[in-house]
Amino acid sequence: MAAVSSTTVLVGARGIVANRRTVSARSTRVASTGRKGELQSQTSDSNRRPSRRFPSRFTRDPTLGSKPSQPVRLTFRSVIPHPKTAIIVTAMARETDPKKRVVITGMGLVSCFGNDYDKFYDKLLAGTSGVKMIDRFDTADFPTKFAAQITDFDNEGIVDKKNARRMDDCLQYALVSGNKALMDAGLTDDVIEGMDKTKIGVLAGSGMGGLTVFQDGVKALVEKGPKKITPFFIPYAITNMGGALLAIEKGFMGPNYSISTACATANYAFHSAANHIRKGEADIMIAGGVEAPIIPVGLGGFVACRALSSNNDNFAAASRPWDKNRDGFVMGEGAGLLVLESLESALKRGARIHAEYLGGAITCDAHHMTDPRPDGSGVGLCIEKAVEDAGIDIKEINYINAHATSTLVGDVAEINAVKKAFKGDLTGVKMNGTKSMVGHCLGAAAGVEAVATIMAIKTGWVHPTINQEDPIDEVEGIDTVPNVKAEHKISAAISNSFGFGGHNSCCIFGPYEA
C-alpha cells in the first residue's frame, strides 16, 4: 500500500502546520481517499491562492462547512509512495453551534450523605467519611465488614409505599435521582407537558442491576420452588428498568437504554447521551448511573475477587487513594444522574446552567479482566481522545477527579496514564479522589463523581482526598489535595472512571461561557 512521507500534519485551533507553513483552519473529521492530489484551501477571500501541494491521506468532511471565525475549508487528497508514514491529526476547537453544545441543567443524587447535592458537597469539602460498619445483614462470616452504605434512605415520596416494598433499591435510587435532576432543571410535569417528549431520553446505566431482587429470587427458587418466584423478579432485576420506569412515568419517548460497563458505566452514559444531543436525536437526556450492591452476594463476590479493604479496625480510613498502606477499595452505593441538554434548548426555556459538557471518550485496555494496563496506556489514550473530542488544549485542564479506588495496581496505573497524557507537566493541576469518602459506587461512581466535579466548578473549591498519610512515590509533584480542601478556579475538569473488563472512560466538564 502506498504510504505518506514522514511530514507531520497538525489540525487544530491554531490551524494546519505542514512543512513549517500554517493554514488557519478548524477540522474535526477526516476520511481516507487513497488518491494522489493536493491540499486545497477554499476561503472567503477570493484573492487567496490555494496552498502548496502537500501529501495527505485525508479529505475534509464537506458537511462541516465553514464559519466567519474559521474561514478556511480544506480538502486533502493524496498519497505519495514512501516507506514511512507519520500523520498526526488533532482537533482543538470548541463546539460553537448551540444545537451541538451540551450543557448540564440539572443534577440528581442519592448518596451515603443524602439526596441533596449541596449538603453532599459540604460533607466532601469537610473531609467527612461516609464509611461505616454494615448493619443491614450479618457480616460475621465476611472478612470485610464495612462499606459506605446508605442508611435511612428517604425516597421523598417519589416512589409510593407499595412499589417501594417491591422495588430493588437500585430502581428506587434511579427514580429518586432522576426526578430530582428533572426538578433541579426546572422540568416540572407542567413544563414537560408543553415539550416534545420524543426529543427527551433517558440513559440510566447500572453495573449489576437489581441485585437484591435477583438474590431473593434465586433464594426463593432453591428453598421453595419456582412457584414462589415473584413475577417482578425479571423486570426488577434487569439493568435497563430504572431508566424505563422514569420514561414511563414522564412519557419520554426519546432514546432510552441501559449501558453496563462495570464501574465506568455512568461516564459511558454521559458520553452516549451527549452524542445523541450532538446528532440531533434528542434535545434533553437524563443520564448517569445507579447501583445498590451492598448485600451478602455483592459483598461476597468482591471479597472473592480479593478487591476489598479489610481494615475493619479503622474502617473510616480504609479508603486511602495513593497511600502506601492502601489494601483495596471500599464498597459504596447510590446514584448520580445529570440532565444534559442542548444549549439551544436550555436558552430557549431560560434554564439555569450548572456547567458545560465539553467532551469525552471511551477506550478498552484489552489486557485483563480486572487489572488495568500497568503503564496506563489505555487510560492515557482515553484522556487524549477526550481532550480531542472537547476541542481544547490539555493545558486548559486544571482539575482531575480521579478514579482513585485505593487499589494497589489501579492507583498507580492511573497516575502513569495522567502523566502520559499531560506529558509529565501537571503544573497548576489539582487531582483528588472522591472515593476516599463515599467509597466505590461501582456503576454509579462516575455519576456521583460527576456531581462532585460540577460542584467543584461551581463553588471554586475542590474537596480533599482524605486518609493520605504516606503517599506513594508516583504522586510526588502532583497536588492530590491531601486531607484539606483547596480553593481552585477551574477552567476545565476531567472525571475519570474505569471498569472491570478494561473499560476506560473520561468526561470533561467546564464552566459555562455564553
Candidates 276, 440, 488, 503; catalytic one = 440
What confidence tens digit (pLDDT) does each residue in 300-334 have?
999 999 999 999 999 999 999 999 999 999 999 99
Average pLDDT over residues 341-345: 98
Phi, psi of 468 (to 5 degrees): -90, 100
Contact 444, 451 (CB under 8 A): no
Per DSSP bridges, beta strands 40-42 and 73-75 are antiparallel
Question: Residue 89: what pLDDT?
Answer: 44
Contact 482, 471 (CB under 8 A): yes
Phi, psi of 341 (to 5 degrees): -145, 145
What confidence tens digit (pLDDT) does each residue in 159-190 have?
999 999 999 999 999 999 999 999 999 999 99
What is the C-alpha separation between 513 and 491, in angstroms, rounded?
11
3-class secondary-structure state, position 421 = helix
Contact 243, 256 (CB under 8 A): yes
Question: Residue 40: what pLDDT?
Answer: 37
Per-residue pLDDT for 53 more than 80? no
Neighbours of 90 (CB within 10 A): 16
Candidates 112, 170, 263, 441; catalytic one = 263
Angle, helices 296-304/211-224, rounded to nearest 10 degrees: 100
Compare 31 and 288 and report the one with higher pLDDT: 288
Per-residue pLDDT for 295 more than 70? yes
Beta bridge partner(s), residue 322? none
Q: Is 403 a catalytic site residue? A: yes
Per-residue pLDDT for 30 more than 60? no
Per-residue pLDDT for 415 more than 90? yes
CA 20 from centre of chain:
38
Contact 452, 434 (CB under 8 A): yes
List C-alpha distances in Å: 471 to 310, 389, 421: 20, 33, 21
Going by pLDDT thresholds of 50, 70 and 90, the confidence category of residue 93 is confident
Going by pLDDT thresholds of 50, 70 and 90, the confidence category of residue 92 is low
Cα(first)–Cα(last) distance of the chain, in Å? Answer: 47
Alpha helices in 279-350 (DSSP H): 296-304, 343-348
What is the C-alpha separation between 332 and 334, in angstroms, rounded?
7
How buried is residue 166: exposed, middle or buried, by Cβ count under 10 Å (0-12/13-18/19+)?
Answer: middle
Q: Which of 387, 345, 339 is nearest to 363 (CA)?
A: 387
What confidence tens digit (pLDDT) does each residue in 11-24 have?
333 333 333 223 33
Beta bridge partner(s), residue 106? 339
Angle, helices 241-250/169-184, rounded to nearest 10 degrees: 50
Cell of 137: 445483614
Neighbours of 424 (CB within 10 A): 10
Candidates 271, 276, 403, 503; catalytic one = 403
Helix (H) or strand (E) holding 173: helix 169-184
Compare 5 and 65 and report the one with higher pLDDT: 65
Specify the range with the lowest mean pLDDT, choosing from 54-68, 150-164, 263-277.
Answer: 54-68
Q: Which of 379, 227, 199 is nearest to 283 (CA)?
A: 199
What is the C-alpha separation between 496 and 493, in angstroms, rounded?
10
Q: Is 82 a catalytic site residue? A: no
Average pLDDT over residues 385-404: 97
CB neighbour list of residue 144: distance below 8 Å, 6 or more residues apart:
299, 302, 303, 308, 309, 310, 312, 331
3-class secondary-structure state, position 106 = strand
Question: Residue 5: what pLDDT?
Answer: 32
List C-alpha distances in Å: 464 to 59, 121, 444, 506: 47, 11, 20, 21
How buried is residue 175: exposed, middle or buried, by Cβ count under 10 Å (0-12/13-18/19+)?
Answer: buried
Q: Which of 413, 431, 401, 402 is nearest to 370 (CA)?
A: 413
Q: Model pTM?
A: 0.83
CB neighbour list of residue 21: distance below 8 Å, 6 or more residues apart:
51, 52
- Which CATH class for the 103-510 domain? alpha beta
Cell of 52: 502548496
Q: Is 488 a catalytic site residue? A: no
